[in-house]
Amino acid sequence: MCGIIGIKGNNATEKAFFGLKILEYRGYDSWGVAYPSNNGFSVTKKVGHISNSEPFSSGSNIAIGHTRWATHGNVSEKNAHPHLSMDGKIALVHNGIVENFAEIKKSLIEKGFIFKSDTDSEVIVNLIQEKMKSENSFEEAVRKSLLEIEGSFAIVAVHLGDDKLVCARNGSPLVLGFGDSYFVASDATAFIGETKKVYFLNDNEMVVISLEPKVFDISSGKEISFETKELTWNFEQAQKGQYPHFMLKEISEQSKTLNLAVEQPKEKLDELTSLLKSSEKIFLIGCGTSYHACIAGSYFFSNAGLHVETVLASEFQRVENFLNEKTLIVALSQSGETADLLCAIKSAKKKGAKIASIVNVMDSSLMRISDVSLLMNAGPEICVLSTKSYTSQLAILLLLAYSIAGKANEAKQLVKETASKIELLISSSESEMESLAEKLADKKNIFIIGRGEAFPAALESALKIKEVSYIHAEGFAGAELKHGTIALIEEGTPAIVLCTPETRAEVLSNAIEMKSRGALIIGVDSKEHSEFDFNIIVPNCGNADIISLAIPIQLLAYYLALKKGLDPDKPRNLAKSVTVK
């Protein structure tokens, strides 16, 4: 969940600093930069956001950096990366989890190593120091150390006196950039302003960047050939531009990204449609917002006459015994790096299941292990909250559901019409949601209900509100209210009611059940209702109603965060890509 970077070339320290500021969305508990100087490594580490610090230069042509989301060891300077080996001659940054760190740490302590931090990552750098005794090069010491590591890693390491960067990946993402300097980072946003020529490392690959990068297979040590690619997006897309926050920018981009979502290569769309029609069992899996999109997708496919099951990726073991070569897994993920999801996919592949994915990051781990992948084309989503990627997922799922009935063009038209309607909705809702946020900012609980396709919309609405405003919000199926939760409704409890034409009558009665117990009813529908204390009007988008229902709540969540003085782009305790289980 961290952001790591390494630079080899001019102004390395400044570039590392700049890159970390961009990677901060991957984790922002603490940060650090290290570079080799005449009397050892110069290391700067701080708790807090790197965006609050000023860059510095060093004249060094090598620098490594890290922005952390804590896993092992609390948030502190000593646990911040980069970590130095005990002899101070090796510096390392790491993203991932060393599952066998305790036993390695114990054996190193028995050999006299003294550890300064509580992290699993410091085990790697000291293991490399130990291997330096027996190996004839720094890179071989790194490689032999990694062969003993169980778990996931993306590392960048430097050895004093060796004018080279050594980096490697297994389970956590790492990408090389080929500009006037060589870059290695968790994702390409860190250096896309410098170059779009990249190489995405595969699992079990190590790269030695000396005069030029050379790629090696970690297991065999053999050099392997590689081909670079050209990124399809640009630096500006990863910037806030005229917006105060990425969250507002990415909400505002949705009328554009929806149209891009349904521009899918025909051969890929046909391939996935055919798999959907021919597979005996179909499971839609994801985490968080992507899982909510899976639930929405199950309604779309049901309307198309296709039964699919949705499973939380982290609960996938429940269905593993029912998979075979006639099973299709459709995995949804913005980052394509979510560990819970990748773990589920790997076990599904072992059972012979076909893997399809809907993903936003090109060449992400998920994309590489899929038999067929549809890209969301939403451009980089920097805000920790998923907004545009969620509605892009919905659009692609709608396209697939229509494609099953041979009506892909109808879906594209529906999404196009929806995109133009929500453009107006976004601009007209901002001030309304800002004033509603004023009313709700001091509430302790908010309940959201919906029926049919508005049920996953209710789940997603609750997640948006919770993760950015820290107000407890619960989303649930409208009819479930009377089976328990209604006990929590009291005078003034805010309840958001999401309506679609198909479910309006029933969900209105659920609203009245709450209103009669004192709830403040905020209704979202294409027309007003006297039962609502606050009416939010959204355009009628037919089978794409769930997309329009998302917009006002995304804006409400955003303004709730602002009213509470919170950073909507970097909520506490979160990170953009959850690369640990």
Which active-site residues does the annotation give?
A: 2, 576
Please tell me the count of residues contacting ligand AGP according to CB under 6 A. 16
| Residue 380 binds ligand AGP, judged by CB under 6 A | no
181 or 364: CB nearest ligand AGP: 364
494 or 568: CB nearest ligand AGP: 568
Nearest residue to ligand AGP by CB is 288
Token pair of 251, please?
Answer: 């909400």
| Residue 577 binds ligand AGP, judged by CB under 6 A | yes
How many C-alpha atoms does 4 have within 13 Å on its Cβ side? 31
**Alpha-carbon gap, residue 109 to 537, rounded angstroms:** 64
Shortest spacing between CB 522 and ligand AGP, in angstroms? 21
Shortest spacing between CB 243 and ligand AGP, in angstroms? 18
| Residue 334 binds ligand AGP, judged by CB under 6 A | yes
Query: Residue 32, Cα to own-chain centre: how many angstroms?
Result: 22
6 or 571: CB nearest ligand AGP: 571
Shortest spacing between CB 288 and ligand AGP, in angstroms? 2
Residues 6+ apart with CB under 8 A from 231: 188, 192, 196, 198, 362
| Residue 578 binds ligand AGP, judged by CB under 6 A | yes
Residues 6+ apart with CB under 8 A from 569: 25, 245, 246, 247, 382, 383, 384
Q: Are 519 and 489 in contact (CB under 8 A)?
A: yes
Q: Residue from 13, 79, 170, 289 that binds ligand AGP (CB under 6 A)?
A: 289
- Of 333-341, 443-451, 474-482, 519-527, the window that binds ligand AGP (rule: CB under 6 A) is 333-341
Q: Are 475 and 466 in contact (CB under 8 A)?
A: no
- Of 172-180, 234-242, 382-390, 560-568, the window that binds ligand AGP (rule: CB under 6 A) is 382-390
| Residue 342 binds ligand AGP, judged by CB under 6 A | no
For residue 301, count CB atoms less than 10 angstroms from its CB and return exposed for 0-12, middle for 13-18, buried for 19 or more. buried
Shortest spacing between CB 571 and ligand AGP, in angstroms? 9
**Alpha-carbon gap, residue 541 to 444, rounded angstroms:** 32
Shortest spacing between CB 280 and ligand AGP, in angstroms? 26
| Residue 290 binds ligand AGP, judged by CB under 6 A | yes
Closest CA to 510 of 448, 556, 460, 462: 448
**Alpha-carbon gap, residue 182 to 166, rounded angstroms:** 12
| Residue 367 binds ligand AGP, judged by CB under 6 A | no
* Binding to ligand AGP, residues 444-463 (CB under 6 A): 463
What one-character-per-residue DSSP string does 262-315 give?
T---HHHHHHHHHHHHH-SEEEEEESHHHHHHHHHHHHHHHHTT---EEEEGGG
Q: Residue from 288, 452, 523, 568 that binds ligand AGP (CB under 6 A)?
A: 288
Closest CA to 526 of 396, 425, 402: 425
Please give the single-letter amino acid code of residue 538.
Answer: V
Shortest spacing between CB 322 and ligand AGP, in angstroms? 23
**Alpha-carbon gap, residue 467 to 473, rounded angstroms:** 9
**Alpha-carbon gap, residue 177 to 488, rounded angstroms:** 53
Q: Residue from 58, 181, 195, 333 that binds ligand AGP (CB under 6 A)?
A: 333
Q: Residue from 80, 123, 156, 384 that binds ligand AGP (CB under 6 A)?
A: 384
| Residue 493 binds ligand AGP, judged by CB under 6 A | no
69 or 532: CB nearest ligand AGP: 69
- Of 45-53, 147-155, 329-337, 477-485, the window that binds ligand AGP (rule: CB under 6 A) is 329-337
Q: What is the DSSP letter of 189?
A: G
Shortest spacing between CB 259 and ligand AGP, in angstroms? 21
**Alpha-carbon gap, residue 436 to 440, rounded angstroms:** 6
Q: List b or e across 50-66, with b for residues whose CB sees 16 or more CB atoms inside 10 angstroms.
A: beeeeeeebebbbbbbb
**Alpha-carbon gap, residue 384 to 366, rounded angstroms:** 19
x/- letters, 386..415, toward ligand AGP (CB under 6 A): x-----------------------------
* Binding to ligand AGP, residues 466-485 (CB under 6 A): 467
Shortest spacing between CB 550 and ligand AGP, in angstroms? 11
Shortest spacing between CB 383 and ligand AGP, in angstroms? 8
16 or 154: CB nearest ligand AGP: 154
Q: Residue from 338, 403, 543, 579 that binds ligand AGP (CB under 6 A)?
A: 338
- Of 127-135, 237-245, 283-291, 505-513, the window that binds ligand AGP (rule: CB under 6 A) is 283-291
Q: Residue from 260, 330, 385, 560 that binds ligand AGP (CB under 6 A)?
A: 385
- Of 208-216, 242-250, 332-340, 397-405, the window that binds ligand AGP (rule: CB under 6 A) is 332-340
| Residue 172 binds ligand AGP, judged by CB under 6 A | no
Nearest 5°: phi and psi at 165? Answer: -105, 140
**Alpha-carbon gap, residue 349 to 370, rounded angstroms:** 9
290 or 461: CB nearest ligand AGP: 290
Alpha helices in 72-212 (DSSP H): 101-110, 121-131, 138-146
Residues 6+ apart with CB under 8 A from 259: 415, 416, 419
Q: Which residues bind ligand AGP (CB under 6 A)?
A: 287-290, 333-335, 338, 341, 384-386, 463, 467, 577-578
